[in-house]
Amino acid sequence: MARVRVKSFSVIRDVLGAEVIEIDVAHPETVGGLFNALVDKYGQPFKNRIWDPNTGEMVPFLMKLNEETLISSVSDLDKEIQDGDEIVIIFPIGGG
């Protein structure tokens, strides 16, 4: 098992219950696998924040891995994550 920290904001944070949560995932695990684990734990409300129900696809967004690397839900779901890693969900939002 690997323990991973997930940091999020706004309505994703609301579903996860806190700005930073920890979750146990298989080891080795990928970024995509982490999101599946989050769906298993937090259910449809979490899925509704990340997957577009109209297309059934995960929406494009960036994540920050361990304070330094930016990765994308479009191209990096196969990236391996390790015990102790932190992922920050950076949702693609424009301003008004």
Partner 1 sequence: MANSFKYGGYVGQLLRVNLTNKGITKEPLREDWARDFVGGAGLAARILYEELPPKIDPLGPENKLIMMTGPVNGTMIPAASRTAVCAKSPYTGSFFHSIFGGFLGPELKFAGYDGLIVEGQASSPVYIWIDDDRVEIRDASHLWGKDPFKAQEIIRKEIGDEEIHIATIGQAGEEKAPYAMILCDIRAAGRGGMGAVMGSKNLKAIAVRGTGGVTVPNVLRVYNTAVRLNQLVATIPAVQGLAKYGTPRNVAAMNEGGILPTRNWQTEVFKGMKDITGEVMREKVVKGDRACFACSINCTKYSVVPKGKYKSVINGVDYETIYGFGSICEVDNIEALCKADELCDHYGLDLISTALCIAWAMECYEKGIFTKEDTDGIDLKFGNVDGMLQMIEKIGKREGLGALLAKGTRAAAQIVGKDTYRFTVQNKGLEWPGHTCRPFPAAAVGYATGPRGGSHHDIRPTAEKSGMVDRRTLEGKGALAAEVNHWLILCDSMLLCHLGEPIWGPLKISNNTIEALNAVTGWELDYEGARKIAERQWNMIRCFSAREGFTREDDQLPVRFMEEPVPEGPMKGSCIPKETLERLKDDYYSYRGWDLKTGNPTKEKLIELGLDFAIKDIC
Contact between 44 and partner 1 per CB under 8 A: no
Q: Spell out, one character per residue from 49 to 68, where the chain touches partner 1: x when CB under 8 A holds, - when not.
A: xxxxxx----xxxx-x---x
Provide CB contacts within 8 A for 22, sequence distance 6+.
3, 4, 5, 6
Contact flag: residue 10 with partner 1 (CB under 8 A): yes
Residue 90, SS3? strand
CA angle, residues 67, 18, 37, in degrees to nearest 5 = 75
Per CB under 8 A, residues contacting partner 1 are: 7, 9-11, 13-14, 48-54, 59-62, 64, 68-70, 72-75, 88-96
